[in-house]
């Protein structure tokens, strides 16, 4: 289902030795380019979609079962909705709904608050099969998606967390300009009474403060530049404390849309609604919001499906 996997697209977990702090790094190169290339969004919208994609990978890579993690914003600004999802074992997709004119009216580098306005971020974990879905909803933070996700962890899971995500259009040596995105998170598992090294609570607090101060020194370029290897970044930050980085988990782009799914959605429409959708050539067209795949149907095909279902 995913595209070709390159080593530029991965999630990597790490553990800071002697601290009850764990984290994860995500790098997206061809996946970011593939997801955004399908959309032709204005650059500032592409930027936040790439950040959402990175965040979905940061959070999704921790799933311990087969399933899906979805991030979805809903808000009253020019960008009304951003959706990014992660499906095990590392398949990503994302899209946004926005008012193009209003976005362009904001100028070249609006704040996240100006782009999204007020609203919420929902994080849904769906283990599939008959298992129950879990959803947490937090208010959108003006400072961006990463800050919104931090408050999700603090409210829903009571785990002190720090997250950074960044995205940029980069010009690589001799190559085409391309979207690059990256992110990093750390979590203080001592708050859970975790299983890592036994520490007095004062030490654990001190360790978290130290990990957070070092984390704050990460700049945007270190996250998006493919020349900055994640191991080097982790070494720069935490070599004094000892950091153990685990294997790369590959990430890829993939969409789950199919003609059957589109038919299922359209089958919930009334006859009148369907006839409004018929174009001059007598066909109904539907385009996938995530991958821009286009599907065509004759109204008769849908009517038959509709009758078959009732």
- Number of other residues whose CB lies within 10 A of the CB of residue 24: 22
- Which of helix, strand or coil describes residue 206? helix
Q: Is residue 291 at the binding interface for Zn ion, with CB under 5 A as the rule?
A: yes
The nearer residue to Zn ion, 149 or 291, going by C-beta atoms, is 291
The nearer residue to Zn ion, 218 or 288, going by C-beta atoms, is 288
Q: Is residue 10 at the binding interface for Zn ion, with CB under 5 A as the rule?
A: no
Smallest gap from residue 52 Cβ to Zn ion (A): 17
Q: Is residue 150 at the binding interface for Zn ion, with CB under 5 A as the rule?
A: no
- Give the helix/strand (H/E) hosting 119: strand 119-126
Q: Is residue 95 at the binding interface for Zn ion, with CB under 5 A as the rule?
A: no
The nearer residue to Zn ion, 209 or 258, going by C-beta atoms, is 258
Q: Is residue 295 at the binding interface for Zn ion, with CB under 5 A as the rule?
A: no
Smallest gap from residue 28 Cβ to Zn ion (A): 18
The nearer residue to Zn ion, 81 or 293, going by C-beta atoms, is 293
Q: Are 90 and 103 a contacting pair, CB within 8 Å?
A: no
Q: Are 177 and 224 a contacting pair, CB within 8 Å?
A: no
What interhelical angle do 145-152 and 43-60 show, nearest 10? 30
DSSP string, 55-84: HHHHHHTT-SSS-EEEEEEEESSSEEEEEE
Smallest gap from residue 126 Cβ to Zn ion (A): 18
Q: Is residue 288 at the binding interface for Zn ion, with CB under 5 A as the rule?
A: yes
Smallest gap from residue 90 Cβ to Zn ion (A): 17
Smallest gap from residue 293 Cβ to Zn ion (A): 5
Phi/psi of residue 8, nearest 5 degrees: -85, -5
Torsion from C-alpha of 88, 133, 183, 121, nearest 10 degrees: 150
**Which residues 210-269 are close enough to bind Zn ion by CB under 5 A?**
255, 257
Identified binder of Zn ion from the candidate list 170, 274, 293, 303, rule CB under 5 A: 293
Smallest gap from residue 113 Cβ to Zn ion (A): 30
What lies within 8 Å, CB to CB, of 30 at 6+ separation is 3, 4, 6, 8, 9, 178, 253
Give the binding-site size for Zn ion (rule: CB under 5 A).
6
The nearer residue to Zn ion, 145 or 257, going by C-beta atoms, is 257
Smallest gap from residue 256 Cβ to Zn ion (A): 7
Q: Is residue 290 at the binding interface for Zn ion, with CB under 5 A as the rule?
A: yes
Strand 91-98 and strand 252-253: pairing? parallel
Where along the sequence are the contacts to Zn ion (CB under 5 A)? 255, 257, 288, 290-291, 293
């Amino acid at each position: 289902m995913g595209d070709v996997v390159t080593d530029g697209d991965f999630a990597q977990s790490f553990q800071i030795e002697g601290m009850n702090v764990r984290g994860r790094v995500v790098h997206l190169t061809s996946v970011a380019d593939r997801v955004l290339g399908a959309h032709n969004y204005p650059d500032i919208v592409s930027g936040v979609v790439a950040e959402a994609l990175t965040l979905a990978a940061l959070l999704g890579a921790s799933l311990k079962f087969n399933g899906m993690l979805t991030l979805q914003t809903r808000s009253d600004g020019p960008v009304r909705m951003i959706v990014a999802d992660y499906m095990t074992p590392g398949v990503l997709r994302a899209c946004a709904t926005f008012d193009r004119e209003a976005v362009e009216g904001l100028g070249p580098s609006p704040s996240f608050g100006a782009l999204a306005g007020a609203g919420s971020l929902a994080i849904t974990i769906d283990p599939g099969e008959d298992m129950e879905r879990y959803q947490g909803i937090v208010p959108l933070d003006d400072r961006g998606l990463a800050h919104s996700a931090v408050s999700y962890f603090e409210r829903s899971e009571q785990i002190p967390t720090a997250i950074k995500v960044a995205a940029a259009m980069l010009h690589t040596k001799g190559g085409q300009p391309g979207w690059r995105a990256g992110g990093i998170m750390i979590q203080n598992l001592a708050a859970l009474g975790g299983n890592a090294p036994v520490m007095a609570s004062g030490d654990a607090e001190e360790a978290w403060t130290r990990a957070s101060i070092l984390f704050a020194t990460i700049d945007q370029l270190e996250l998006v530049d493919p020349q900055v290897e994640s191991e080097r970044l982790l070494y720069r930050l935490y070599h004094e404390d000892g950091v153990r980085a685990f294997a790369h988990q590959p990430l890829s782009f993939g969409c789950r849309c199919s003609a059957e799914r589109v038919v299922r959605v359209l089958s919930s429409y009334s006859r009148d609604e369907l006839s409004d959708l018929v174009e001059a050539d007598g066909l109904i067209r539907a385009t996938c919001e995530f991958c821009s795949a286009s599907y065509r149907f004759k109204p008769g095909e849908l009517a038959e499906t509709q009758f078959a279902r009732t």
